[in-house]
Chains A and B, each alone.
Chain A
Amino acid sequence: MTSPSPPASAAAPASEAPALLEIRGLEVVFGGFRALTGVDLTVRQGELRFLIGPNGAGKTTLIDVITGLTRPASGSVGFAGTSLLGRREHRIVRLGIGRTFQTSVVFEELTVAENIDLAACFRRPLPALLRQRRGTSEAVATALERTGLAGFADRPAGVLSHGQRQWLEIGMLIAQRPRLLLLDEPVAGMSRTERDRTGELLVEIAKDHTVIVVEHDMEFLRRYASQVTVLHEGSVLMEGDVAAVQADARVQEVYLGRPREEKTP
């Protein structure tokens, strides 16, 4: 997090890049409630995609399906040519998809460096884990440096503030070198300065990762997003760059809750 480069250039839409994530006709039903009703979504290699929508739009549900936490009723989820459906969560992670959660969970009794180190070692077979950690591996050092947590490396993660925990989670993800990062409301509950730092971190990460960010915070969106997908009541309302999304009447309607009659000419 050294040079705050202009976000637009960092997250340049790679329209010719191959699709990394392809979701088609995704439906999720909880009991009788249809949380997702036929979602199509394509995310290309190298993209930074924001996923927005009012409460209950199905943003987290979508992430849950991608990461194997929720089983869809129908539809397909393809990742770099392989289907993700029916795979166990840890297998999906091993395919190269990492995610954070709205409520960050870090291992409080382990040090910050140990947290990242565990994340970095996830591909090692069990016998290889029987060795003690000595020194700091390059992946861990990089993650510590990028998240600005190097000063906390040997402190237990339990002493970190809310914002720092989110960064630690992101750092743990970076250390895994995933092909796709899913961040679920990374700036929720953060102070203004923390949000700024998170934004810079996001821009930095997006340079060499494909990232999907679920976010509520409009100001954050304006500053750091380029490509945006708007979900509403379980389906994709529209897709486009920030300006187009902000100008769109339907988006304004679902966010401001203006009744339909008023809007239609």
Chain B
Amino acid sequence: MEALLSQLPIGLSIAAVLMLVALGLTFTFGQMGVINMAHGEFMMAGAYTAYVLQDWTGREAVLAALPVAFAVAGAMGLVLERAAVRRFYGRPLDTLLLTWGVSLVLQQLARDIFGAPNVQVRAPGWLDGGVRMFGSQLPYTRLFIIVLAAVSALAIWAYQNRTRQGRRMRSVMQNRQLAACSGIDTGRVDQLTFFIGSGLAGVAGVALTLIGPIGPNLGTYYIVDAFLVVVAGGLGRLRGAVIAALALGLLDSYAEFWTDASLAKVIGFAAIVVFLQARPQGLFVLRSRALT
């Protein structure tokens, strides 16, 4: 029992990272049908933002970087949306391939600017140490990430439900045509969604600097799992993404605990396929009047 509980903080912190990465993805995917493979590189951009900032701010880089990384990654997302992606709305497969090309270029850019080896961002002093939970040590850095993920999810929820812009976003997500007919400028909403979604990737990237060194390939490690969260959680569903991230994060840590790391991913994949046997409904909609 104790062993069971001791895995909980680890699972939670894995889940928190997944959640941060997947939150932005689920909106760009849910609202615009865009599979943004460059999302991982927006994370990387956020991480390098913290790395660059630490020249001025020293160890407090992480806090200072949160808003800056949000803006940097958000701006990158906006450029991508305007320049290319907006021509491919509703064609997820094409956006997947297109943004993969973008992600290749961004990775190489990072390699050419910052060098191929990983770099380190030092965590603030007040995050040294940790707290004992259920017989295992939970570093304050991990705790910070859990809190950050929770705050981000809450902020998104509040934005969607409490602000006029957020409600517009939800309406476009639910019925694009109807929203357009009711006078909502869907193009602007799309831009904003892409900005926020990509900005969240930047925030996730800053969080990742607390876990370990960062490098040009940072995004590729997380993007696949993050997409699995989006698939399991359902399109553009905040609650779905949160629950799926928790489930996958916990499953990952427990599977790793009982078997080993290399099997954990296989078990996670199998779990998703099994889950889809029970709940594929959330994943597609069939309208009978206009088939296909």
Classify A-B as touching or not with yes or no (CB < 8 A): yes
Residues of A within 8 A of B (CB): 60, 63-64, 69-70, 101-103, 105, 184
Known A69-B286, A70-B288, A105-B292; 11 more pairs at CB < 8 Å: A63-B288, A64-B288, A69-B288, A101-B288, A101-B289, A102-B289, A102-B290, A103-B290, A103-B291, A105-B291, A184-B289
Q: CA–CA, A70 to B286, complex, Å?
A: 10
Report chain A residues within 8 Å CB of B286: 69
Q: What are the 5 closest A-B residue pairs judged by CB atoms, nearest first?
A: A103-B290, A101-B291, A102-B289, A64-B288, A105-B291
Report chain A residues within 8 Å CB of B289: 60, 101-103, 184
List 19 interface pairs A-B (beta carbons < 8 Å), by A numbering: A60-B288, A60-B289, A63-B288, A64-B288, A69-B286, A69-B288, A70-B288, A101-B288, A101-B289, A101-B290, A101-B291, A102-B289, A102-B290, A103-B289, A103-B290, A103-B291, A105-B291, A105-B292, A184-B289
Nearest CB to that of B286 among chain A residues?
Answer: A69
Q: CA–CA, A102 to B289, complex, Å?
A: 6
Q: Mark B133-155, 1 if CB is under 8 A from A, else 0.
A: 00000000000000000000000
Size of the chain B interface, CB-CB below 8 angstroms: 6
Q: CA–CA, A60 to B291, complex, Å?
A: 13
Report chain B residues within 8 Å CB of A64: 288
Q: CA–CA, A93 to B289, complex, Å?
A: 18
Q: CA–CA, A102 to B287, complex, Å?
A: 11
Which B residues, 262 to 292, have Cβ-Cβ distances below 8 Å to chain A?
286, 288-292
Q: How far is the CB of A82 from chain B (nearest CB, A)?
A: 23
Report chain B residues within 8 Å CB of A69: 286, 288
Which B residues, 231 to 288, have Cβ-Cβ distances below 8 Å to chain A?
286, 288
Report chain B residues within 8 Å CB of A70: 288
Report chain A residues within 8 Å CB of B288: 60, 63-64, 69-70, 101
Q: CA–CA, A184 to B289, complex, Å?
A: 9
Report chain B residues within 8 Å CB of A184: 289
Which B residues, 58 to 86, have Cβ-Cβ distances below 8 Å to chain A?
none
Nearest CB to that of A184 among chain B residues?
Answer: B289
Q: Mark B158-191, 1 if CB is under 8 A from A, else 0.
A: 0000000000000000000000000000000000
Q: How far is the CB of B60 from chain A (nearest CB, A)?
A: 50
Q: CA–CA, A63 to B289, complex, Å?
A: 11
Nearest CB to that of A89 among chain B residues?
Answer: B286
Q: CA–CA, A105 to B288, complex, Å?
A: 12
Q: CA–CA, A142 to B237, complex, Å?
A: 51
Report chain B residues within 8 Å CB of A103: 289-291
Q: CA–CA, A184 to B290, complex, Å?
A: 11
Q: How far is the CB of A27 from chain B (nearest CB, A)?
A: 18
Q: How far is the CB of B277 from chain A (nearest CB, A)?
A: 15
Q: CA–CA, A142 to B272, complex, Å?
A: 48
Report chain B residues within 8 Å CB of A105: 291-292
Q: How far is the CB of A76 from chain B (nearest CB, A)?
A: 21
Q: CA–CA, A102 to B286, complex, Å?
A: 14
Q: CA–CA, A114 to B291, complex, Å?
A: 20
Q: CA–CA, A64 to B289, complex, Å?
A: 9
Most chain B CB neighbours (cut-off 10 Å) among A60, A101, A184: A101
Report chain A residues within 8 Å CB of B291: 101, 103, 105
Nearest CB to that of A103 among chain B residues?
Answer: B290
Q: How far is the CB of B207 from chain A (nearest CB, A)?
A: 38
Q: How far is the CB of B280 from chain A (nearest CB, A)?
A: 14
Q: How far is the CB of A51 from chain B (nearest CB, A)?
A: 15
Report chain B residues within 8 Å CB of A63: 288
Report chain B residues within 8 Å CB of A102: 289-290
Report chain A residues within 8 Å CB of B290: 101-103
Nearest CB to that of A100 among chain B residues?
Answer: B291
Most chain A CB neighbours (cut-off 10 Å) among B289, B290, B292: B289
Q: How far is the CB of B285 from chain A (nearest CB, A)?
A: 12
Q: CA–CA, A184 to B291, complex, Å?
A: 12
Q: How far is the CB of B175 from chain A (nearest CB, A)?
A: 15
Most chain A CB neighbours (cut-off 10 Å) among B286, B291, B292: B291
Q: CA–CA, A63 to B292, complex, Å?
A: 17
Q: How far is the CB of A106 from chain B (nearest CB, A)?
A: 11
Q: CA–CA, A184 to B288, complex, Å?
A: 10
Q: How far is the CB of B129 from chain A (nearest CB, A)?
A: 51
Nearest CB to that of B290 among chain A residues?
Answer: A103
Most chain A CB neighbours (cut-off 10 Å) among B286, B288, B290, B291: B288
Report chain B residues within 8 Å CB of A101: 288-291
Q: CA–CA, A102 to B292, complex, Å?
A: 12
Q: How far is the CB of B184 from chain A (nearest CB, A)?
A: 23
Q: CA–CA, A64 to B288, complex, Å?
A: 7
Q: How far is the CB of B203 from chain A (nearest CB, A)?
A: 35
Q: CA–CA, A105 to B290, complex, Å?
A: 8
Q: How far is the CB of B291 from chain A (nearest CB, A)?
A: 5
Nearest CB to that of A69 among chain B residues?
Answer: B288
Q: How far is the CB of B59 from chain A (nearest CB, A)?
A: 53
Q: CA–CA, A42 to B291, complex, Å?
A: 27
Q: How far is the CB of B182 from chain A (nearest CB, A)?
A: 20
Nearest CB to that of A102 among chain B residues?
Answer: B289
Q: How far is the CB of B253 from chain A (nearest CB, A)?
A: 37
